[in-house]
Structure formats: C-alpha cells, structure tokens
Chains A and B, each alone.
Chain A
Amino acid sequence: MIKIAIALGVLLTAVAYTVWLERKVVGHIQNRWGPTRVGPFGLLQPLADGVKFIFKEDLIPPHVYKPLFIAAPMIALIFALTSISLIPVGNWITVFGIHTPLEIVDVNIGLLVVLGITSLGVYGVALAGWSSNSKYSLLGGLRASAQMVSYEISLGLSLVGVLIMAGSFSLRDIVDAQGGTFWGFIPRWNIFHGQFVAFFIYLMAAYAETNRIPFDLPEAETELVAGYHTEYSAMKFAMFFMAEYANMITVACLATLLFLGGWHGPLFGPPVLQAILPVFWFVAKIFAFLFLYIWVRGTLPRFRYDQLMAFGWKFLLPLAIANLVITALVVALSA
C-alpha cells in the first residue's frame, strides 16, 4: 500500500514537472524563457495550472454522447497510471528491516502486461473523439486509433529482439541480463549489444504511440483545432493531458529498462550512496529520454498523414522484422 501511494505521488509529480520541463526546454529552443512568473524558474507553474484546471468551469457541450464523453478521459488516465505499477525502478532495498523490491508488483510476464495495459489506453482517445460528436474530434479520434494500432506492431516487434537476448518477459530479468561491461568500459546495455536498430524503431513507434511531434496527427493544431480533446475543458482536459505525459514517462521507463540497462551504472561511495545510486541512474536515464522527446518536439515539423502511415508500414515494420530475424539468427548460431 505504501509503495502504491509513493509510486502514485511520484508519478503525478513527475507528470506535472515533465510539463514544466517541456515548456521550459521548448522555450529555450525557441529563444524564449518559458514559464518564469510563478516561483523560482517558474517551478510552481504546474501547481498553479493544477489549481486553475480544478476551478475552471467543467463545460459539457449539449451535442455530446454523455456517458462516453465523461468516461473517455477517465479511461485514458486510468490505463496510463496503471501501467507504471509494473515498472521496477531499482533492485531490492531494505528499509527499516523490510526487504522489498522497488516496484509495486513483479509478474513474470511484466512486459506483456505493460504492453496490454498501454494498448487499452487508445480507447480513451478514440471514444473521446467519437463521443464529442464534432468533426475535428472525430477526425482526431480516427487518426489516433489507426496510428496507434499501426505503430503498435512495430513497437512490439522491436521489443522481441530484446526478449530473445534476455530469454524472459520479466522486466527484472531483462535488466539483470544487461549488467556488466564490454572491455571494462562500454556497458552491456542492449542498445550497445546489437539492438541499436531496435532502439531506433522503438523510439519512432513510441513517439507515434504517445501522439507526440512529429507524429501528433491526432491533435494537429493547424488542421484539427485540438483533435480528439477539442470539446473538453477543465479537469477532463487536464486528465487527457496527464494521461499523455504519464504515457510518455511509461515509454521512457520501458526504453530505460529494455535498452539502456535499467538501473545499472557505476556504483561507488559508502553503502547508503550505493543503495540510492541505482535509482538515481534509472531516473537520470528517464530524464535523458524525456529530454530527447522534448528536443525532437522543438526541432522537427509534423508529418503528413499518408507519410505517417507509409513510414510505419513500409519502413519501420520491415526493418523491425529484419532486426528480429537477424537477432534470432545470431542468438541461435552463438548458442
């Protein structure tokens, strides 16, 4: 129970501050300051935004299909927050005599469950688009569902190579398989261990799965106003927002666990520091991944929809299959 509370608190704070980070970094990329008014460096901005969202009038347009209109943001947020419960953030620790793993539940098919839960998140977006009963929303919802189903295939196939090398679905086993170094200085992370192409595919598919630039067609502001959440206001809009950022963090966690060696990193210093360092490395890698996300957002323009589909089906999917076949061959021949 304590772990659930801690995980939820940390995740929601992380979501709020990812928004802050994004506004700040994109601001600097575009030669602006980003938020500066509320607190030092605008650090209290997320709090102010949260209060604002809660006190805004929650407007439900008269033409919507009410049950699904209300349920959609909840669906999106629930699945986004649930998937994080399976992410291990570090090795076993002992706090006040209790020896516990740093995650809420450890299941031996952890990766599949995470994929399953995140694949359900698309209902939130699709139903929001449909139930709003507006053209912009419907187009956004349609694009989102088509895009997510298409890119999920590449995403899944890019992970199979990692699974073959680790021989397990358990996220903990996958991280454990990446311990140690090559020649003493290059870490044995999967990204340096023949899975660079898989990492690239994962990165692209992850951008598409989380509806981020350059694949943010479902909410393309220039064509669709705000896409699937055009008709939403106040806390319901905030729920979609939180779901999107929570999904980004989940994707970053998975990338860290599967490709970047999880909590492995140089350990030094006294025992207390050694206990904290793995979590620090894990968080640092997630931060780097999120920074890359924001950097890409500040740099790349949006794709056209047919380009998006052609890229997914004609480039990423064959590449993912080729990577899978080669990985399987190498593993089979070296075994």
Chain B
Amino acid sequence: MLHLLVFSVFGLVCVAGAVNLLVQRHPINSALSLVVVMGSLAVEYLLLGAEFVAAVQVIVYAGAIMVLFVFVIMLLNAGVEDRSKGSRVAMLFGVPGVLIGSVLVAWVLVARSGTGNVAVGALPGPPKVIGWLLFHDFLLPFEVTSVLVLIAIMGAVVLANHPGSAQQRSTQPDKREG
C-alpha cells in the first residue's frame, strides 16, 4: 500500500516536472525541471526493484548529462524566452495526435494479451545479472552501441576542431611563455 502510494506520488512529481519543463519560460528552470523528471524516474525504477538502473539513471542523466545542459545554458547566458502565440497547425494536429497516441499506448498496455502484471523484482535487477545480460546475451548490440557512441564523439571532435581554431591553439603556449 505504502509502496503504491510512494510510486504514485513520484509518478505525479515526474509528470508535474515534465509539464513545468514546458511551461517555464527560463531555460534554466526548464533544465532543472528535467532534472526533477530524471530523479523521480530513478525513484520509480527503484520502487520497481531495478536498483542498478535507478542508480545509473541518477549518475548518468541527473549527475552528468543534465549538468552539461545547465553548463551550456550558463555559458550562453540564455535569457527568458519570448512567448509566442503558438501555431495553428500545432493546435490542429497536435492535440488530436496526442490523444490518439495516448489511447493507442493505453490500448496496447491494457487490451493486448502478453502484456501482464509482473511482480516487483521478478525481472533482472541486480548488477551481476545486468552485466551478464549485457556481455553475453546482448553482446553484439552492446558493442554496436559503443561504436555508435565512439562515432558521435569523433564527430564532436571534428566539429569542434575546425582549421582556424587548431592553428590558434598551437600558437597559444608560445604567447604565454613569451
């Protein structure tokens, strides 16, 4: 009972954070709402018995990726966003689209056979089991993903290191010493 209560409370916090993210006009407030969303998602994972995923969620998303978001907002000193009236196309297609999408998800979850209830902790949760799954059953997808990430990193390096700045960097130390 308490379990369900805590789960619902954090579910609500999560949704409220997500709504707040869209409503807030200042980027840094939106970024912080996203941190709240990530944190409450981590609590939900924890309550579902996936403590490893919860910890990783906090370390990676809340602790690293969102810090970079906040960093970029601080660096660019992004100000308050102007409020536009919103486009008519978005209203026309967006609202029905969201409704159809949520009904579809609900239908898949409720009506389709094969998706049933699972007891808390019945699915793999401990780090050892997850490690085994990653490095045995799903080794190929795991390695392909890591190559993908590597490509992304290399792309970022190439983009950041365009010719002009490379030349500048090589002359910098001399200047400082002289």
* Chain A interfacial positions (CB closer than 8 Å to B): 68, 107-109, 112-113, 115-117, 119-120, 122-123, 126-127, 129-130, 138, 141-142, 145-146, 148-149, 152, 156, 169
Judge whether A126 and B70 touch: CB under 8 Å: yes
Judge whether B52 and A142 touch: CB under 8 Å: no
Judge whether A120 and B126 touch: CB under 8 Å: no
Q: Does B37 contact A (CB under 8 A)?
A: no
Mind listing 24 A-B residue pairs with CB under 8 Å? A68-B28, A108-B126, A109-B51, A109-B52, A109-B55, A112-B55, A112-B127, A116-B42, A116-B55, A116-B59, A116-B63, A119-B59, A119-B64, A119-B67, A122-B63, A123-B32, A123-B35, A126-B67, A126-B70, A126-B74, A127-B28, A127-B32, A127-B70, A148-B67
Q: Which listed residue, A113, A122, A129, touches B55 by the CB 8 Å rule?
A: A113
Contacts of B52 in A (CB 8 A): 109, 112
User: Residue among A116, A119, A126 with the most chain B CB within 10 A?
Assistant: A116
CA distance A113 to B70 in the complex (A): 22
Contacts of A149 in B (CB 8 A): 64, 67-68, 71
Judge whether B74 and A146 touch: CB under 8 Å: no
Q: Given contacts A68-B28, A145-B70, A149-B64, is CB(A120)–CB(B58) below 8 Å? A: yes
Q: Given contacts A116-B58, A116-B63, A119-B64, is CB(A146)–CB(B71) below 8 Å? A: yes
Q: Which listed residue, A107, A112, A152, touches B64 by the CB 8 Å rule?
A: A152
CA distance A284 to B148 in the complex (A): 47
Nearest CB of chain A from residue B98's CB, rounded to whole Å: 30
Task: Give the nearest-CB partner of B127 in chain A.
Answer: A169
Contacts of A129 in B (CB 8 A): 74
Contacts of B73 in A (CB 8 A): 130
Q: In the complex, given contacts A126-B74, A130-B73, A146-B71, what are 14 additional A-B residue pairs having Cβ atoms less than 8 angstroms apart?
A: A68-B32, A112-B56, A115-B63, A116-B55, A116-B62, A119-B59, A122-B67, A123-B67, A126-B67, A127-B70, A130-B70, A141-B74, A145-B67, A149-B68
CA distance A149 to B66 in the complex (A): 10
A-B contacts counted at CB < 8 A amount to 73
CA distance A71 to B163 in the complex (A): 43
Q: Does B75 contact A (CB under 8 A)?
A: yes
Task: Give the nearest-CB partner of B56 in chain A.
Answer: A112
Judge whether A142 and B71 touch: CB under 8 Å: yes
CA distance A149 to B64 in the complex (A): 6
CA distance A117 to B54 in the complex (A): 12
Q: Which 3 A-B pairs have the closest CB atoms?
A: A119-B63, A116-B58, A112-B55
Judge whether A115 and B59 touch: CB under 8 Å: yes
Contacts of A156 in B (CB 8 A): 59
Judge whether B74 and A112 touch: CB under 8 Å: no
Judge whether A152 and B70 touch: CB under 8 Å: no
Q: Given contacts A68-B28, A112-B56, A113-B55, is CB(A120)–CB(B71) below 8 Å? A: no
Contacts of A116 in B (CB 8 A): 42, 55, 58-59, 62-63
CA distance A23 to B55 in the complex (A): 37
Contacts of B35 in A (CB 8 A): 123
B interface SS class: helix
CA distance A156 to B146 in the complex (A): 18
Nearest CB of chain A from residue B34's CB, rounded to whole Å: 12
Judge whether A138 and B64 touch: CB under 8 Å: no
CA distance A167 to B55 in the complex (A): 18
Task: Give the nearest-CB partner of A169 in chain B.
Answer: B127
CA distance A122 to B58 in the complex (A): 13
CA distance A116 to B32 in the complex (A): 17
Task: Give the nearest-CB partner of A139 in chain B.
Answer: B74
Task: Give the nearest-CB partner of A114 in chain B.
Answer: B55
Task: Give the nearest-CB partner of B63 in chain A.
Answer: A119
CA distance A122 to B71 in the complex (A): 11
Judge whether A145 and B71 touch: CB under 8 Å: yes
Contacts of B58 in A (CB 8 A): 116-117, 119-120
Judge whether A120 and B63 touch: CB under 8 Å: yes
Mask, B41-69, CB within 8 Å of A = 1, is 01000000001100110110011100110
Within 8 A of A (CB), among B66-90: 67-68, 70-71, 73-75, 77
Contacts of B75 in A (CB 8 A): 142
CA distance A274 to B126 in the complex (A): 35
CA distance A142 to B58 in the complex (A): 21
Task: Give the nearest-CB partner of A156 in chain B.
Answer: B59
Nearest CB of chain A from residue B68's CB, rounded to whole Å: 6
Contacts of A141 in B (CB 8 A): 74
Contacts of B68 in A (CB 8 A): 145, 149
CA distance A113 to B52 in the complex (A): 9
Judge whether A142 and B126 touch: CB under 8 Å: no
CA distance A138 to B76 in the complex (A): 11
Nearest CB of chain A from residue B21's CB, rounded to whole Å: 16
